[in-house]
Amino acid sequence: MSTVNHAESSPQALVKGALDLDPWLEPFQGEMIKRQLKFRDWYNKLSNTENSLSDFASSYLTYGLHADWDTKSVSITEYVPDVEKVALVGDFNNWDIHAHSLHKKNDFGLWQLTIAPVNGDFAVPHDSKYKIAMTLPSGEVIYRICPWAHRCTPSADPSLYDARFYNPPRELQYQFKHPRPELSEDGGVRIYEAHVGISTPEPKIGSYKNFTQNILPVIHRLGYNTIQLMAVMEHAYYASFGYQVTNFFAISSRFGTPDDLKQLIDEAHRLGIRVLLDVVHSHSSKNVEDGLNMFNGTDHYLFHGGSKGVHDQWDSRLFNYSNYETLRFLLSNLKYFLDEFRFDGFRFDGVTSMLYKHHGLGFGFSGDYNEYFNPQWVDDDAILYFMLAHQLLVDKGEKDNFRYLSIAEDVSGMPTLCLPIKQGGIGFDYRLSMAIPDMWIKILKHLQDEEWDLGNIVHTLTNRRHGENCIAYCESHDQALVGDKSLAFWLMDKEMYTNMSVMSENTPVIDRGIALHKMIRLITFSLGGEGYLNFEGNEFGHPEWLDFPRIGNGESYHYARRQFNLIEDDLLRYKFLFAFDCAMQRLDSNYHILNSSQAYVSLKHEGDKVVVFERNGLLFIFNFNPTQSFADYKIGVHTPGTYRIVLNSDSPDFGGHDRVGPVNAQGEPLKFFTNDDPWNDRANSLFIYVPSRTALVLQLEEKVVS
């Protein structure tokens, strides 16, 4: 078991690593130390009372309804404070509230019951419906879904869900076959953000099995090494995109069974792909009948009571992270998905809302450090939860000899969020660079090509905290939703429906759109962070937005799908964007760009519209000029030698015009030789033809030895 013991160290030693990285944090070390001490107090308390943080987070093994295959008994443990009686009711006992009453184990609201087998078999059959019945102090009896239920399905009223006892025969339970893949040999973290339900060309809900059979091979072919699965935790309202969770321990039944999801993850592991869960611990659905809200008849079960427990903008409930049982529930939820489904980490949704008492609403973060350490604004209880969650990942990782990943969806830029706890940080591995997609949308929406500010583009792509890793992306699911536009739509809009065939004219709109789509993605990929994310379908310029069935669209599934069939049609231009994305992913797997040091930008020429930078031995050249190509353009470079092109966005394989071929006029491989003439603060330079709207990546093939 990992220990957290700094009794012999000075308080300042707890945050020394963070202060060494950023001396500007010095005036705020008092608040930073308070966070560290609070975390250590809780860690030690849980170690003393629960044996360990890991055991505390293993409560999912006892809480809720469980089958013992050795004795064929069924046991249930529930945390239900402020009630007089608790009973288990269901199909198995004809919903008789008096048949199976739980016994009160302590004064803190813990109730338990063990039910002996009936005729040598489980008293509660597999897949049978059940609920928790509670008698309130007023005498009223209420019926609720178990908070720890592992399986929930639509009831006769499709707007409501039932809990079902998931206990299939052992021979039908999926057994994992493949180990979790490490990423150390495959470059940086390259994330394919995906939603199982929309992962089919047909206007219907896709399944885990469909994703396993048809989508995993596409992701593997593209070269992504990580999948971020959205909308897995059960949500009664499909159009919530999975962000209004009703049942935290149940996976969405509309896509299939828990064993189907296990098979999906195991197959991803076989392909060398890690799978992250998009986890929603920032809030909970307000549903009462099939959610956590008002579970025991009070508004403060696991949540803050009163207005503090309500997120008005999201119309949802907010967790009380200072509550002992809330921490048990949420930490156990994390460990459950790691243990039972073998997820490889998490993308935490709504982190900004959790970090601040104002939830980021109407608050414009300016970068002033007071915004991140003012106790009137910052929720230290949520920070404690994050630190305990990340210590859990560290402890489990040490035991499993595996590094679990975590990503924060945070727009505020809180310092130390992505530093290890042992360095004085909160523990995340990465944060999403949420300013980057906003920048691209504003540029495409408001500026003509000649008005692009390259200095601002480069600044936005490189403006990140030293030592804290970021995931760069041009667009995520947010930009694909109806009401917004994807980059492909901003670039090509309605012509995508008429001119994406290679049999039709390559219009100026389509030609520009395909060229800039590639360039925007490559400069974001190579300059914007230590990891990269793409939302499914955007890599090939999916021609439609995303809109889930709802009353406003007549409950249509027409836009709740991804048309992967388009990349298989050789007569359509989508194949060019798909091929470029494949090449871009290979660039990192071959040359390890993402997990290397930040790039050195040597040129941002506003007149020429040219950007040049070097990263991990590769030379990147971008000509965003809409009309002008440059012959013998002088490029500064640090290392002298012979260079060759390893990626050319103008290649015909990517829908380009082949203005820089792979060979010269003599049919020999095209090479570029440096001279010792310094240029743009680089010791050497070379000359190269750079066509308009083209990106070139050069590799040092042979170094000059002086």
Residue positions annotated with a catalytic role? 349, 409
For the chain, the distance separating the N- and C-terminal CA atoms, rounded to the nearest angstrom, is: 53
Burial class (CB in 10 A: 0-12, 13-18, 19+), 61: middle
Q: How many CB atoms lie within 10 A of CB 67?
A: 17
- 10 Å Cβ neighbour count for 561? 21
β-partners of residue 619 are: 614, 698
**For the packed helices 508-527 and 454-462, what is the interaxial angle rounded to 10 degrees?**
40
Rounded Cα distance between 39 and 436, Å, is: 33
Tokens 């064993």 belong to 259
Distances (CA, A) of 33 to 47, 322, 357, 373, 465: 21, 18, 20, 11, 20
Q: How far apart are CA 194 and CA 237, in angstroms?
A: 18
- Using alpha carbons only, what angle is made at residue 639 by residues 636 and 641, rounded to the nearest 5 degrees? 100
Distance CA 371, CA 481 (A): 31
Identify which of 377, 318, 326 has the alpha carbon closest to the alpha carbon of residue 350. 318
Contact by Cβ (8 Å): 247, 149: yes
CA angle 16, 20, 25 (to 5 degrees): 80
Name the DSSP class of 438: H
| Dihedral angle sign, alpha carbons of residues 456, 462, 468, 474 | positive
CA distance 524 to 521: 5
Query: Quick one: DSSP state of residue 109?
Result: S
β-partners of residue 685 are 636, 675
Bridge partner residues of 533 (DSSP)? 191
- Give the sign of the dihedral formed by CA 547, CA 163, CA 216, CA 242: positive
Identify whether the C-beta of residue 640 lies closer than 8 Å to the C-beta of residue 623: no
